Structure 1
């Protein structure tokens, strides 16, 4: 009897151990603790013909970060030369454009409306964006089509070509002075009587722009400020005058005045001095 009781207790203990061991084996592992709303990997992956879950063709998880594609809009091209610039590279630009017929005057080194128009014409012919400014692409195409300008091409000795007269120059007796073409045209009632190359003040001592009149003349004037000769001086704005400059004749556009309008042809300015009267109009414009 006692033996039967011992056997029954032993059987009950064995069953209890078996039940506890079975619960531990079925406990959920870390990969099975996802929240109910998250689909399992086996459910979201399409089945392959063999019945196994397939992965994307690039073997990357579908939510892996990807490299952003380049922007469809390219950054704006860097501008090398533009309206208002004045330097040696602009002079070279004008000389190169002149070689192939896009710039019909002597290089001045100043980037104004005429230079911008010439650049637009060049860009249009080459199916480039017609910006009127010179970027790297425009410059390289121009350089490939032209040769390096010679000293004579950069600074020809011939008189600069006149641009279209300012509207203020079309009536009366006028010294019509263009900063863009660097010319002075002596005009009477809209007709050009004579013209000549001119040079202006530097950035620190600029030649004033606007409409003035000749207020005095001095054939053999000497500057009281700089103590330099100013032959055939025709004053129009304070101490600023149109006059002959031996420095302009010798160095050309490598130098600058202190604000006056320099003329390098002594014969022309001497003749002009004899014709101009006090009270005649002076127009300085771009």
Structure 2
């Protein structure tokens, strides 16, 4: 009796000039990764983040909750282990949330340039401001991974292409706004917390990339600062 197989392949653009990422999706729960029974080094922190009883001991329900989080954000292996990568993503989310609506509290992004798009690599946040006035954001972003860091400094949007496709890798980069060589703001179809990051671009959700497209124009300033964790 023949075995029926179903596979779906999702090809996602993860950054400017980045090769496609191909994920094999299983046919159903029977193909899902098994849950680990091991207690991870960040068990208590992860339990607290997920609203689980904080006892520092792995349980079947703990594992399923952790595994669901890992699957949602592309953390591998998604086996429900409370390790450093999973906690690192959660810790970053906590820090992003703590920023609230005052992302430039420290004054790191210039307020004397008029409209400017700011990118804080340390917190993986971006926003648009006009002087001291917050225009949009802050929004979570996904910047360059180790070896492909998003370059820091003051730049300008020099080219925009709403339907851009990478000429090197044939990867769609919708709502591209280039500000430094091949590095651009653009939308992707993966979680903003999907490790390890892009190949240099500032990835955004489609909603945020569309908003940036409507608010920015060629010649507008972009300021990138800080250092992404792990780079």
TM-score class, shorter-chain normalisation, is 0.5 to 0.7
TM-score by length of 2: 0.54
1:60-116 CA distance string (max 9 Å, x none): xxxxxxxxxxxxxxxxxxxxxxxxxxxxxxx959x939x5xxxxxx9xxxxxxxxxx
Distance 1:269 1:146, change over 3 A: farther
More strand by share: 2
1:11-55 CA distance string (max 9 Å, x none): xxxxxxxxxxxxxxxxxxxxxxxxxxxxxxxxxxxxxxxxxxxxx
Does the CA contact (< 8 Å) of 1:248 and 1:262 recur in 2? no
2:212 to 250, 268, 272: 272
Deviation (angstroms), 1:191: 1.6
Q: Which runs of 4+ in 1 moved over 6 A?
A: none
Match of 1:219 in 2: 162
What 5-or-longer segments of structure 1 have no aligned partner? Answer: 1-90, 100-105, 107-144
User: Any idea what SS the aligned residue of 1:272 has?
Assistant: helix
Structure number with larger C-alpha Rg:
1
User: Any idea what SS the aligned residue of 1:217 has?
Assistant: strand
1:125-183 CA distance string (max 9 Å, x none): xxxxxxxxxxxxxxxxxxxx984796458456896544635434323111110011100
Question: Pairwise mapping of residues 9-158 of structure 1 onto structure 2 (< 5 A)?
Answer: 92=42, 96=45, 147=56, 151=66, 154=87, 155=89
TM-score by length of 1: 0.45
1:192-220 CA distance string (max 9 Å, x none): 22121101112121110111011111111
More helix by share: 1
Residues in 2 aligned to 1:236 and 1:267: alpha-carbon distance in whole angstroms: 20
What 5-or-longer segments of structure 2 have no aligned partner? Answer: 1-40, 70-85, 227-231
Does the CA contact (< 8 Å) of 1:248 and 1:255 recur in 2? no
User: Any idea what SS the aligned residue of 2:209 has?
Assistant: helix
Deviation (angstroms), 1:229: 0.8
Say whether residues 1:169 and 2:106 are aligned partners: no
Residues matched between the structures, number: 148
1:215-252 CA distance string (max 9 Å, x none): 11111111112221111111000110011111345xx3
Distance 1:233 1:217, change over 3 A: same
Distance 1:181 1:163, change over 3 A: farther
